[in-house]
């Protein structure tokens, strides 16, 4: 995988278009609006680390990370529909854990919809459910995982 690069403020439109395409699969699976599509991406670019996974100028993945006092919060991990099944999601998750280690944080947190097909993938990657929050039209699942030692990340597709 090509190294990740930090997105610039001038790439908001590209980020929004990518997220819309990437989360269309999730919306179809859960039957509800994907949480990341409700965000103000100008604010996200100000408050979070946004990382692009590019190959030959093509955007294949986006990672959005928020630094919290006790953990690194995985706001969004998304791959292009054309990149599905190529191991990019696992590589982005490994990059998340690597970034948490760089920052000296011991946990990574995230939220997802209880109907999201990725829920099982998160569990296989070491995340456990901290709590569930029923909301109109969805159940938000709060998950977290300990940051593994560097030698425990695989870089392999799940």
Residue 62: exposed, middle, or buried by beta-carbon count in 10 A (0-12, 13-18, 19+)? buried
Pick the CATH number of 5-152 from 3.40.630.30, 3.40.50.12280, 3.40.50.150, 3.40.430.10: 3.40.630.30
- As a whole number, the mean pLDDT across the chain is 90
Q: Where are the domains of the chain?
A: 5-152
- The more confident residue out of 16 and 86 is 16
For the stretch 96-144, pLDDT in tens is 999 999 999 999 999 999 988 899 999 999 999 999 999 988 899 999 9
Backbone angles phi, psi at 110, to 5 degrees: -160, 165
Q: Is the per-residue pLDDT at 155 higher than 60?
A: no
The pLDDT value given to residue 30: 81
Does the global pTM surpass 0.95? no
């Amino acid at each position: 995988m090509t190294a990740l690069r930090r997105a610039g403020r001038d790439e908001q439109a590209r980020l929004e278009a990518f997220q819309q395409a990437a989360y269309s699969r999730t919306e179809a699976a859960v039957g509800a609006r994907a949480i990341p599509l409700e965000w103000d991406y100008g604010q996200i670019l100000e408050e979070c680390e946004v990382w692009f996974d590019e190959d030959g100028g093509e955007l294949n993945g986006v990672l959005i990370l928020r630094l919290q006092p006790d953990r690194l919060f995985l706001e969004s991990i998304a791959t292009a529909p054309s990149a599905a099944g190529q191991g990019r999601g696992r590589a982005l998750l490994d990059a998340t854990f690597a970034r948490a280690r760089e920052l000296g944080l011991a946990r990574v947190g995230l939220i997802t919809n209880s109907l999201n097909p990725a829920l099982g993938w998160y569990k296989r990657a070491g995340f456990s459910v901290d709590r569930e929050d029923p909301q109109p039209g969805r159940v938000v699942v709060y998950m977290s995982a300990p940051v593994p030692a560097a030698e425990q990340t695989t870089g392999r597709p799940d």
